[in-house]
Structure 1
Amino acid sequence: MTSRFTAAMGTVLAGLDLKEMDPALLSFAISHKAAELRASSDLFTDALELAAFAHRNDVRNPDKEGRGQPYIGHPFRNVLRLLRYGCADGPTLCATALHDTVEDCPTEIISLFDGPRAPALDEAGARTRALELIAGHFGDRTSSLVAAVTNPLPSGSAEDRHLVYANHVTSVIGRPRVFLVKFVDFVDNAGSVQYVQDESRRQRLSAKYRPLVPAFRSVLDAVERDLPVPADGLVQIRGHLDRIADRLG
């Protein structure tokens, strides 16, 4: 039986803007919404826990002293946004929680599953092993989604990296579930550009994300019937695209 407190908290958390919530509150909001959608599972909880462990030393938008917001807020916001769209698909939710772990901290996954005696690997090898471990615990569908949204290893100038990023995104989002994982990531990244204080960095990020708006819009038209979200979720997705397009100019 749902207690009055649980019901009240669920209602309050459902009305909060994501930017108002720290990682702890995001985790509770995720729990409430997942229960509402009957999307809760041991694997989903494991994915959230693994993401929090792997990103425990990471910060987002660090200043010159390396201080910033706890990085885990980013994947947690992505997960909650996806739940608010009405998505209850297990592999998609797990992959959303884990979407940056292979790219940013594969050795943390390896150390957890393989232990301290795991052999040293180069970055490409570490990514491969981390994906194998994700597949072993969460299944091939989740691992495949994480692999699809993992950006290529960096090379070249910042301008070249932006082009590689755009080409990578447009090459993978034709798969419906990959679209969802990458879209909520895009919303969190592109939607926060307006809050970047440094003007030159804000302009660079706007230039990075602006070309992807029509790409997401075009793919959405093609795959919307195959997305595991209800009709009102599709309305939210299109609304987020419109708002980001306005913000980026």
Structure 2
Amino acid sequence: MPTRSRRTKAPSPVSPHGEVTLWQEAAAFAARAHRNQHRKDLHTPYFSHVARVAMTVSRVFGCDDDVTLAAAFLHDTIEDTTTDYDDLEERFGGEVARIVANLTKNMAMPERAREADYLGRLAKGSWRTTLVKLADTYDNLCDARNYPEDKRAAHLAKTRAKAAQVLALADRSSDEPERLTRAIRALRALLA
């Protein structure tokens, strides 16, 4: 398998002559980064989650913005792989890296401080950050049905509580709130 040289700048999202788009490159990167990981059921490849998050952004929420889709594919790479902010910034640009960083919990912090820091960054993040988090929450709620029956109720309750927090943040977002309307409605419908 040939090695690929690292880019010094973010790729162009334009694809008129068969070039790979930003989100396609992000999908391939995420597939490699998460290749040996599985969901909590220990069978489902973890990449299926990030792919569903990106599909939710596109198909359920109606957003086909390359930067947002790239961030959706990459949203767990800093938190769950050896990828760091600099890797993402170099390969996908500062905006994608910032979105992913805002979606990443600092696992070095104590849990209460970590959650407060995370929610604070989500609250200050762009509409793209909020949209990806809404899609992540949407997929986690859908995926809760696949949990073992003895753990499903507790996991679903925890995921619903997190969804309520994310919806509260999204409702207060002043950064292009019209971009979030469809996503907020879809997540509320799933919770109903």
Q: TM-score, normalised by structure 1?
A: 0.60
Offset, 1:202: 2.3
Query: Closer, same or farther in 2 for the Cα pair 1:194/1:164, shift >3 Å?
Result: farther
Native 8 Å contact 2:107 2:114 kept in 1: no
Per-residue CA distance 1:57-98 (angstroms, 9 max, x = gap): 111123xxxx41111100000001101122122222111101
Corresponding residue of 1:134: 88
Corresponding residue of 1:206: 156
Offset, 1:166: 4.9
Offset, 1:164: 5.7
Corresponding residue of 1:97: 73
Query: Closer, same or farther in 2 for the Cα pair 1:145/1:165, shift >3 Å?
Result: same
Matches within 5 A, 1:1-249: 42-62=21-41, 67-84=42-59, 85-106=61-82, 109=83, 130-153=84-107, 161=111, 166-174=115-123, 175=125, 176-199=127-150, 201-223=151-173, 226-227=176-177, 229=179, 234-244=181-191, 246=192
- Counterpart residue identity of residue 193, structure 1: A
- Counterpart residue identity of residue 159, structure 2: Y
What SS does the aligned partner of 1:59 have? coil
Offset, 1:41: 5.2
- Counterpart residue identity of residue 69, structure 1: T
2: CA distance, partners of 1:208 / 1:189: 11
How many positions carry a matched residue from both structures?
173
2: CA distance, partners of 1:207 / 1:154: 26
**Structure 1 outlier segments of 4+, above 3 Å:** 163-169
What SS does the aligned partner of 1:179 have? helix
Query: Closer, same or farther in 2 for the Cα pair 1:131/1:155, shift >3 Å?
Result: closer
Unmatched tracts of structure 1, length 5 or more:
1-39, 110-129
Quick check: which one's helix share is greater?
1
Query: Closer, same or farther in 2 for the Cα pair 1:54/1:228, shift >3 Å?
Result: farther
**Identity across aligned pairs (percent)?**
26
Per-residue CA distance 1:111-170 (angstroms, 9 max, x = gap): xxxxxxxxxxxxxxxxxxx210110111000000111101221666xxxx4x56653553
Which protein shows a greater Rg? 1
2: CA distance, partners of 1:154 / 1:189: 24
Query: Closer, same or farther in 2 for the Cα pair 1:165/1:78, shift >3 Å?
Result: farther
Q: TM-score, normalised by structure 2?
A: 0.76
Query: Closer, same or farther in 2 for the Cα pair 1:136/1:155, shift >3 Å?
Result: closer
CA RMSD of aligned residues (A): 2.8
What SS does the aligned partner of 1:141 have? helix
2: CA distance, partners of 1:97 / 1:235: 20
